[in-house]
Structures are given as C-alpha cells and as structure tokens.
Structure 1
Amino acid sequence: MIKGEFSNILKVAFLYMATIIGAGFASGQEIIQFFSIYYKGGFLGIILAGGLFSIVGYIVLSKVYTERIKSYDEFLFPMMGYFFGKIMEFVVMLFMACVMSVMTAGLGNILMGLTGLQYRYCVIIGITVCLLAILTNIKGIVVLSSFISPVLIAGIIFVGCYILVSKDTSVFNISNKLGVITNNWAFSSILYVSYNTILSTVLLTGMLPYLKSKKVSAWGGLLGGGMLGATALILNSALYFFYPHSITSEIPVLGIIQNNSQMLSKIYSGVLILAMFISTVTSGYCLAERISKKMKVNYKLVAIIICAIAVPLTSLGFSNLISTLYPVFGYLGLFLLFVIIFQYIRGIISSRYSRG
C-alpha cells in the first residue's frame, strides 16, 4: 500500500470516527448508558457495535465510490424510495439539530468550569469558534478531523488506562444506578449504532473527493469502525470498575479522575472540549449543507442562522438528553441501518445470481 493511499485511508477513517466520538462518547455517558449497565454483556455489545460500524462504513463508502455518489440525496432516495426517504430526511435533520444543541451546551459547561466565566458567555464563545470551523465547509472539516480524531483517541485511551491502573473507587460515596435503555445488551448495542449511523451517513456520502480508490473506501470504513470499537472497549473497561458506584456526574470520566489528579482532569477537559467541538462542527456542517441545498439558500448564511438558534436551546440537560433523545433516534434510525445492510446483501445475491 503506497504512502498516499494509506494517508487517504486514515483521513476517511478519522472523519468517520469524528462523527461518532463526540462528547457523549468521550465523557463516558454513552458508554455507561448503552454498554456498562449490562456489566459483562457490555463488552460483547461493544464488540458487536464495532463490527456493525465497520460493516456500515464499508458498505456506505464502497457505494459512494462505485456509484460516484456526491450527495446524501443520491444515496438515500434510490435506496429507500421517495416516501420513506422524506421521512428519514426529516429524522436526520432533527437529529443533527439536537446533537448540535446538546454538544454546544456541553461545550459551554466545560468552558465555564475552566474559565470561570458565566455560562451564557461560554456558550457564545464556543458556538462562535464552531461557526468559524463550519464556514470552512467539508475540506476544512476533513483537516480538523484528521488532527482532532487522533488526539481524542490518544486522550481517551490514556485516561482509560490511567483509571484501570488506579482503580480507586473511593472517589465515589453515593450509589446512583441508571435505568437500562433496553433489557438486552445486543439490542442496546444495535440502537447505539443506529442513531450514530443517522449522522455519520450524511457526512460519509460527501466523501467522494477523498475516495481515490476502492481500497481507500473499503479500508477507510473498516478501519474507522475497528478503531471505534477498540477505543470504546478501553473506556468501558475503565468505567466497569466503578459501575454502579455513584455515576452521579454529568461527565463520568471526568468525575472519576478529578479527585485523583487535577492536572489530568484539566488535560481531559481539553479532550472533551475537542470532542464537543468536532461534534458541533460536523453536525452543524451536515445540517447547514442539507438546508442550503434543499432551500437553495447561501450555505454561510444558513450556518450563521442555525448557530444562532442553537444558543437558546443549550439549557437542556446533557445526560438526560443522551438517555432519552438518543434511544428515540436509535429506534427511528433502525430502518436506515436495516435498509443499508439489506440492500448490500441483496446486491451481492443478485450479482452472484446474474453471473450464475
């Protein structure tokens, strides 16, 4: 594999990861609520999720490359039809708006803790920086994800290993066991992949300029999914030692390390800022791109408007939204996940049948 091709594979894989490793993932909230609550079953759930992420990434990116797909519409409507395509399009746009608002709120909370400024000022600072990144369009976001995703992965793995080594459960003193999202670790894992597929598919269908060969598209999806699974396993291993010992913090990972190491707490706060930043930017870009194309309005104007609208919505709770909204979108996204995999399998069967 030549150096340039490997570089493109990494770019694609990191962008794929950037749509999923957001604040919910890095904070530990998603990992706890979708995996850790099932104890040992959570580890199996993560392996299942990593496999599904690899499969979905492989299918979507391979389809984008072979069919020269340049937009989400070109991917969605031929696969789902006009009626279901319109429904899914509405679900996608609603989910992107929710993600953008939630991540902006989390960004404001972290900045407030670090700077001491009032929350509303931190939100305005955070959304302004995100807007500047959104205005760079897909090329700028690819560059950002190529830098930020490796930093996120390294930070999560380092902190996860630190927690595994220290294993000091004395930092908690109140028990607060969370309610399970489903009664089955496998279905919870599928829901997790489902709602993440809603946003990641929008971004992946705009990746054609970076898919220089079939190998780049295939390995970009497979590698991205595999690295997601491996990172989640390390984080879940760390959280497993503390569950259900008082997961009371809005940001569980930070709650674990802040009483052990103030320096590490500040470093991981920086990691969380990057995670929230890239989540806000990717969801904001996808939403602005969809609205501008549908309404034939200037992209930059749409980006400014949606960032302004996101500010008053940031009063919503971070962990409560993950435990309520995300599973709802998981159920709504099941149809998209099913169709992507079903259409791929049907295509393989049809191809073999026609050759036979």
Structure 2
Amino acid sequence: MKNSIKIASAFIGIIIGAGFASGQEILQYFTSFGMMGTVGAAISIVLFGFLGMVLTKIGSRLDTDSHKEVIYKISGRYLGILIDSILVFILFGIGVVMISGSGSIFAQQFGMPQYVGIILMTVLVLIAILSNVDQVVKIIASITPFLIIGVVVLFVYSLATKDYSFMELDALAKEQPSATAHWFTSVINYVSLAITMGASMTLVMGGDESKERIASYGGMLGGIGVGILIVIHHLAILAKIDVVGDYDMPSLGLANHISPIFGVIYSVILFGMIFNSAVSMFFSFGTRFFTPKTKKFNWFVGGTLLIAFGASFFGFKQLVSIFYPLFGYLGMILIAILIIAFIRMRPLKEIEKE
C-alpha cells in the first residue's frame, strides 16, 4: 500500500503542472462550459483513474526505463516513429507555453513587462539544464503539495464568498473562450493532453515497480486524485468567474483577492511549477537527440531555448488556446494505442503459470 501511495503521489505531481496551477487551462477546458464543465470534470476522475492504471501497468509489465522502448513495442516500427515524433513535438510546445507563462506572472502580479519574466525563466532553465543541478529541480518539485493546499484554499474561499447563484455564474462562464466546441470533446481532449505530457515519466515510474498490481493500483489512485483536484479547481474558478475570467492566470488573480500576501506566495508556487515543468520539457527534448552534458547537447538546448524564447511572446493565454487542443488531438493516437495494448495484455495469472 505504501508503494502504491508513493506512485499515486508521483503521478499527481507529473500531471498537475504549471498550466493547471495557473487556472487558464481549467478555465478553457472546463469552466467555460459552466455547469456542464462540472460534469466534464467529474468524468475526468474516471478517465484519469483508468489511464493512470493503464500507464503504470504497462510500464511495470514491460519493466521499462524509457518511453521509446514501450512505444515501439506496442505500436510497431512505423507507427512508433509517428508516436515518438508527436511526443517530441509536444515536449517543445509545452516548454514554449511554460516560458510564456512566466512572463504573465510578472505582468499580472508585479506590473512588470512580460519580457522580464520570460528572460529570467529562459536563463534559469538554461542554467539548470547545463549545470546538472538536479537537486534544485527536486526541491522545486516538492512545491506540488503546497500547490494542492493552495487550490483547496481557493476553493473554500470562492464558494464562501461567491456573489451570484450558480445559474447566473453558468451564463457568465459560457462567455469565456473554450478550448473546443463541446464540453465532452473538451474533457477527452484535456485528458489526452495531460496523459500524453506525463506518459514518458509515468511509464518509467511503472517500470520501477516490479509488482504489477501495486503499480496499477498506484496509477489508478493517482488518476482519481488528479480528477478530484480538477473538480475542485474548476469550481473555485467558476464561483468567481465574474472576477477572474479575464485574467491570463485566473487562479493567481483569485489568490490576490484573498490577500496580497497570499497572492505573492501563490505566484512563487506558480513560478516554481513553471520552472520545474520547463526544465523537464527541454531536458527531455534535448536528450531525445543528443547525450546529456555533451557539447552538442548544450548547443542544441541553447538554440532550442532561443527559439522558444521568441515564440513565447505570442502570449500565454493565446498559446494555451492554440497548442493545448492540438496536442490533445495528437495525443489521442497514443491513448488509443495504450488502450489497445492494455486490452491485449494477458492476465497476470496466465504469465505466472508459465
């Protein structure tokens, strides 16, 4: 049970990243559909629970230490190339969105030009990747529990101080731009996006657990936890949609309504989540092409960050609305292959008899 909880906690940390923390993706994928978004968030609990179990189960069964070997084993040589390319494309795209998000923090929280946050984040990510400061990333990753506490605080505050009925809030929420045209496709797209972003690490995490049942149970618990957090975060934003609907970072805006001090604390948490996500994305992107800590790797990462730096000026809110739905649709190919592989897997009892 202890190992299952450990896997569940790690899975939540992998999936709940900077986009979730800002509230922007929750707003576009769930809250913009009003009360039907609540239904969608509830459905995500089931989907995340099932897919979390699928990922960790496959990882454990194949005893993997790399997502590449799993992808090629379950999808074949040619389809494997396509899936691998999609994952690489998503790594870079999410990295760009993360750097852009750091600019929105500085603009919204401190009234500073966006380029200040963008430059700072780009430099910090480059230093972290080139300097092998793994311990720094681990420390930043430990912020996740504080993020969860922060979201719960936002939830309690929002429901306790909302100024309109949920019927009125439903109408206001539907005025917000949505990631997709329908609430149900939005749920599927979001789950696909999140699972695809976390697939690499989750498969490897499952491979570290030799007992398949423990890995599966941990993935399922983690997925359920992610879904519950989505419901809570969605309701927090919905209850105050009249106040935070126009912000690039709705959750940060909400935190400032509670208290300026809490707003600063939440902005630090958010910056840490963005840093951790950005380092993970660009490091994984670089290692896909070159061996870490080599000159080619260093130059490649530096050039990649320079391109990402330029692309990040399109704006955090705009990049989320463009990139995330696209990545969600591309990720559906991976999700379909994972489910087929899961269905085709023989029961563990049959393997143990051999």
Q: If the length of structure 2 is used for normalisation, what is the TM-score?
A: 0.84
The equivalent residue for 2:183 is: 185
The equivalent residue for 1:201 is: 199
The equivalent residue for 2:147 is: 152
The equivalent residue for 2:115 is: 120
Contact persistence 1:62–1:218 (CA under 8 A) = yes
What amino acid is the match of 1:266?
V
Shift of 1:318: 1.0
Return the match for 1:326 from 301, 324, 327: 324
The separation in 1 between residues aligned to 2:34 and 2:111, in whole angstroms, is 37
Shift of 1:192: 0.4
The equivalent residue for 1:44 is: 39
When residues 151 and 256 of structure 1 are mapped into structure 2, their CA distance, relative to the original with a 3 A threshold, is closer
The equivalent residue for 1:79 is: 74
Shift of 1:130: 2.8
Pick which of 79-88 and 244-253 moved more. Answer: 244-253
The equivalent residue for 2:94 is: 99
- What are the Cα deviations for residues 302-342 of structure 1, in whole angstroms up to 9, with x where unaligned? 44443343222220211122122211111111111112112
Pick which of 309-318 and 188-197 moved more. Answer: 309-318
Query: Secondary structure of the equivalent of 2:176?
Result: coil
- Does the alignment pair 1:234 with 2:229? no
Query: Secondary structure of the equivalent of 1:205?
Result: helix
Query: Where does structure 2 lack aligned partners over 5 or more consecutive residues?
Result: none
The separation in 2 between residues aligned to 1:332 and 1:292, in whole angstroms, is 25
Shift of 1:107: 1.2
Q: Spell out the pairing of 1:1-356 with structure 2 (5 A cutoff).
A: 1=1, 5=3, 9-10=5-6, 12-111=7-106, 118-134=113-129, 140=135, 143-144=138-139, 147-168=142-163, 177-207=175-205, 210-211=208-209, 213-243=211-241, 247-292=245-290, 299=297, 302-348=300-346
What amino acid is the match of 1:38?
F
- What are the Cα deviations for residues 119-153 of structure 1, in whole angstroms up to 9, with x where unaligned? 43432322333344445879758834751221211
Query: Secondary structure of the equivalent of 1:224?
Result: helix
Shift of 1:74: 0.8
Shift of 1:207: 2.6
When residues 160 and 346 of structure 1 are mapped into structure 2, their CA distance, relative to the original with a 3 A threshold, is same
Contact persistence 1:211–1:217 (CA under 8 A) = yes
What amino acid is the match of 1:30?
E
The separation in 2 between residues aligned to 1:55 and 1:297, in whole angstroms, is 42
Contact persistence 1:101–1:313 (CA under 8 A) = yes
Shift of 1:104: 0.9
Pick which of 221-230 and 236-245 moved more. Answer: 236-245
The separation in 1 between residues aligned to 2:221 and 2:236, in whole angstroms, is 23
What amino acid is the match of 2:283?
Y
Contact persistence 1:133–1:140 (CA under 8 A) = no
Contact persistence 1:177–1:247 (CA under 8 A) = no
For the aligned residue pairs, the C-alpha RMSD in angstroms reads 3.3
Query: Where does structure 1 lack aligned partners over 5 or more consecutive residues?
Result: none
Contact persistence 1:19–1:282 (CA under 8 A) = no
